[in-house]
Amino acid sequence: MAANKRWRNAGLYGLLVVVLIALGTAFMGGRPSADNSPRSLRYSDFVASVQNNQISRVLISPDRGTALVVESDGQRAQVNLAPDKDLLKLLTDHNVDIAVQPTRQAPVWQQALGSLLFPLLLLGGLFFLLRRAQGGGGNPAMSFGKSKARVQMEPQTQVTFDDVAGIEGAKLELTEVVDFLKNPDRFTAVGAKIPKGVLLVGPPGTGKTLLAKAVAGEAGVPFFSISGSEFVEMFVGVGASRVRDLFEQAKKNAPCIVFIDEIDAVGRQRGAGLGGGNDEREQTLNQLLTEMDGFEGNTGIIIVAATNRPDVLDQALMRPGRFDRQVVVDRPDYSGRLQILGVHARGKTLSKDVDLDKVARRTPGFTGADLANLLNEAAILAARRQLAEISMDEVNDAIERVMAGPEKKDRVMSEKRKRLVAYHEAGHALVGALMPDYDPVQKISIIPRGRAGGLTFFTPSEERMESGLYSRSYLQNQMAVALGGRVAEEIVYGEDEVTTGASNDLQQVARVARQMVTRFGMSDKLGPVALGRAQGGMFLGRDIAAERDFSEDTAATIDEEVSDLVAVAYRRATTVLSGNRAVLDELADLLVEQETVDAEQLQELLLSRDVHVADYV
């Protein structure tokens, strides 16, 4: 009610300003003088009276639009003049006295006063409204510097730590923060101080914001949530004002938690742009640094921030005293994925054949958001197929849909193109199945998905993905498998009939070979040396640009080594497929007939043939 009253008062004051401006404008133009209200005369009657010599004098207005007519008998009339070029000649021929009324000008003092009155009224009205808005605080248009944080004095996020699964390490770090807020005596008794800030770092979709909601739900203290982008405005200083206002509110409600999502929007490294110290983002960051660990300190305020770009954050923001803890929220492992699937399967009707353990093993590298989307896609497919329960078929289709896109069964494919795609995918699968120390084949399909005409699915090693350690032999096998489709086309159809279907495979091979030479030190000629330093420009494409720190001779050697690695992989793929041409034909025929071949069928096919893997290493 108070806010509505302030808005009504502001509207009345605005109306008052408008009225004053109108009065000033009228005053500048002067008040109209009284007249004798002469009668109106039609223009045709006026011309006829002139021709009959009944008009003695005509007083024309300055704008030539009207005229005051004096008749021979002394009566006066007013006429609206038409744009008639013969009018003056007509009046002269009949001896009519013609005069033009001069432009009326106000006195000098009145003109000066009128010219000053309008801007004075305007400025006075705006100043009055501004003071009124600042005093009442009810006008959002004037609250640029106010924080836009959402405040929950008793957080009801409906999320607790029981709803967070698969990231036990990160959950433990934040559980201690919640315990500190609930039972500070247990920590202070041994001299522990409450952490000032916790920075959640991890890829998108791993559950950073979910963790913050769980902290709010568990702590039971006032919770302020805001996005980093809400600090930044086009006006310099507004963001810093919002930071000050946010921490002023937080101090009044301490102990409390302040959650800043996507802090990289405001916390990027300083000195990287062209704005210098007057840049709005830098001003906001400086104020944030001061509030987090300045002279005053913020006892009882815990900052929880989340970002997936920790590499761009300013070093002053990352140091202890501001963010004492950096919690890595990484992609979940197998057990973590199994727990996450259990959480997201609570509200879904799953049939008995759905094995979440198999789903967890088929989805390495999936984040919590990916797994939630996976089960949701499976539920949508079940509803589309008018099923009462979600079966394993829907889950498998959802996995492939998330990984490669939806099926395009309505696409018309000729028999020739279908067989070519079958040979291409059979080449990938056969080389991958016969290469030692490589990921097992999971499924082969020639059903178009997304932009791909067919796909061969492999099951990546959980250990390799978690550690990020790939051996030289694995990378060589990876290149050979990627070239398997192109080699199969050449063997079956000849070099003149190869297609552009292997373009992505060739890009992958070139990228892996160059990384082996320049980044991993897997070159016989160059040895264990890394070539090409990443550029230091924060906003100048640092992630994709590299500084050339080697000579032309070294560059030529790098190209030679890359070509040699690709040639070796090509020869290995050719050896495998040429030595197993019968198996390649049989697998392609099976794909043309069934469109999909799973891992069990591929193993049965290989076991029925006497294939020795050692011959092709």
User: CA dist 463 to 144, 166, 433, 470, Å?
Assistant: 51, 17, 19, 10
Q: Which of 291, 394, 400, 425 is catalytic?
A: 425
Polymer length of the chain: 617
For residue 387, which amino acid is it? L
Rounded to whole angstroms, the Cα distance separating 564 from 526 reads 13
What distance lies between CA 451 and its chain's CA centroid?
A: 24
Rounded to whole angstroms, the Cα distance separating 11 from 97 reads 56
Rounded to whole angstroms, the Cα distance separating 214 from 382 reads 31
Query: Quick one: 228 exposed, middle or buried, by C-beta within 10 A (0-12, 13-18, 19+)?
Result: buried
Paired with 457 in beta bridges are 443
Residue 255: cis peptide before it, omega within 30 degrees of 0: yes
254: left (phi over 0), alpha (psi -120 to 50) or beta: beta
- Report the sign of the C-alpha dihedral through residues 457, 463, 469, 472, in that order: negative
* Collapsed DSSP state (helix, strand, coil) of residue 150: strand
> Angle formed by the axes of helices 108-136 and 2-29, to 10°?
170
Smallest Cα–Cα separation from 307: which of 286, 328, 291?
328
Smallest Cα–Cα separation from 96: which of 70, 75, 77, 78?
70
Rounded to whole angstroms, the Cα distance separating 156 from 223 reads 10
Q: b or e along 45-65 (b: 16 or more beta carbons within 10 Å of the residue's beta carbon)?
A: ebbebbeeebbeebbbeeeee
Residue 425 annotated among the catalytic residues of the structure: yes
Please check whether residue 175 is in contact with residue 161, taking contact to mean a CB–CB distance below 8 angstroms: yes
User: CA dist 141 to 11, 145, 516, Å?
Assistant: 13, 10, 58
* Collapsed DSSP state (helix, strand, coil) of residue 97: strand
273: tokens are 């742009």
* Collapsed DSSP state (helix, strand, coil) of residue 508: helix
Q: Which residues are catalytic?
A: 425
